[in-house]
Amino acid sequence: NGGTANSASGGFTFFLDTSTAGSATINNNAGTVSGASGGETDFESTSSAGNAHINISGAGATGHGVAGRVVFSGNATAGNATFFNGSSSVVNAEGGQIFFYNQTNAGTASIENFNGVGNGITHFFASASAGGSFIVNDGGTAFPESGGETDFNDTSTAAGAEITNNGSTHASVNAGETE
């Protein structure tokens, strides 16, 4: 769970070495007050998210709330897991965040980045790969929302991923986006 006081840390779950999340359900909830960190799950070394269902909530606290996060580093993989990367409906509060670093890959995971004032975002850095994953970036539905987002940075690659960017349903709102 996320922190419950300003500057408080959220809870952490670590998968190390060759460990796997199996078929677990993991909830990374946001901080409950402004400035409190959200819950975080880290996959390190050659660990795997397996077939887990992982929910990442967007921050609901007013003013600079911190969402839940999932971080992949080393050579970890998302396996065949399902990720629901939530959004925030509050201004200055971030949506859920998924980070792939180093030589990690998204495997054949399903990732949905939700729309919101603080949108759900999946980031790929360094030599990370989206693998054969299925990624959906929802489109915004009302002002001031933004659509879900997937970002590729450095030498990361979409590889054989299937990425769908849904359109918005409002003239002043961003659609789902990949950059």
What is the rounded (10 degree) CA torsion for 15, 16, 21, 22?
-170
Strands of 121-124's sheet, edge to edge? 12-15, 40-43, 69-72, 97-100, 121-124, 149-152, 177-178
Whether the pTM exceeds 0.85: the reply is yes
- Percent pLDDT > 70 in the chain is 98
Which one is predicted more confidently, 37 or 131?
A: 131
Structure tokens at 58: 């967007």
Please tell me what DSSP assigns to residue 72: E
Please tell me what DSSP assigns to residue 77: B
Please tell me what DSSP assigns to residue 127: T
Q: What is the C-alpha separation between 97 and 68, in angstroms, rounded?
A: 7
75-120 residue pLDDT tens: 999 999 999 999 988 877 889 999 999 999 999 999 999 998 889 9
* Average pLDDT over the chain, rounded to an integer: 93
User: Mean per-residue pLDDT for 14-19?
Assistant: 98
